[in-house]
Amino acid sequence: MQFKQSYKMRFYIVSGFCAVALLALLQGCSFFKKPTVPQEKFVFYYIDMLSMQDSLGTDTQSSKKIIAALNKKYMVTEEQVQNTLQEMSQEPKLWEKFFEKVNEEVTKRARFKAPVTAPATTPPPAAVNAGHVVHEKPTH
């Protein structure tokens, strides 16, 4: 009788450890993973968000409009964005990689922008009076 009880006890303990190990393994699989935004898409999302905040502001109402517009543009949900931020917060290396990609993309975008140059036909400073061009008559 003693033997059967210790055998059953070992069976339950081993089964419990196996179940916990299996759950831990499955939790790491994408089957149980919360939906997130792929990193490349999130890089563009983040850059656009910063750009829009520069234009529209960072107050609560503007931020809500920006987030709604970006979620629509990139076809993501608020939950996916929050899950992405949460996942990255748990792993500092993910933030590091993320900001490297952001810097690369911003640098690439800056490189392809055309330089801003002054128009070739600007009037000389003396010929400008209160924002209007004054045409001087030639003196002979």
pLDDT tens digits, 48-85: 999 998 888 888 888 899 999 999 999 999 999 999 99
Residue span of the structural domain in which 49 resides: 35-111
Cβ atoms of 99 and 50 closer than 8 Å: no
**Does pTM top 0.75 for this prediction?**
no
pLDDT tens column, 12-42 = 565 554 444 444 444 555 456 789 999 999 9
Q: What is residue 100's predicted lDDT score, i.e. its pLDDT?
A: 96
Q: What is residue 32's predicted lDDT score, i.e. its pLDDT?
A: 63
Q: Give the integer Cα–Cα distance in Å for 27 and 34.
A: 10
Name the domain count of the chain: 1
Element (DSSP H or E) covering residue 54: helix 39-56
Q: Give the integer Cα–Cα distance in Å for 63 and 70.
A: 10
95 within some domain: yes
15 within some domain: no
Q: What is residue 118's predicted lDDT score, i.e. its pLDDT?
A: 43
119 within some domain: no
43 within some domain: yes
69 within some domain: yes
Write out the DSSP string of 56-84.
H-SSHHHHHHHHHHHHHHHT--HHHHHHH
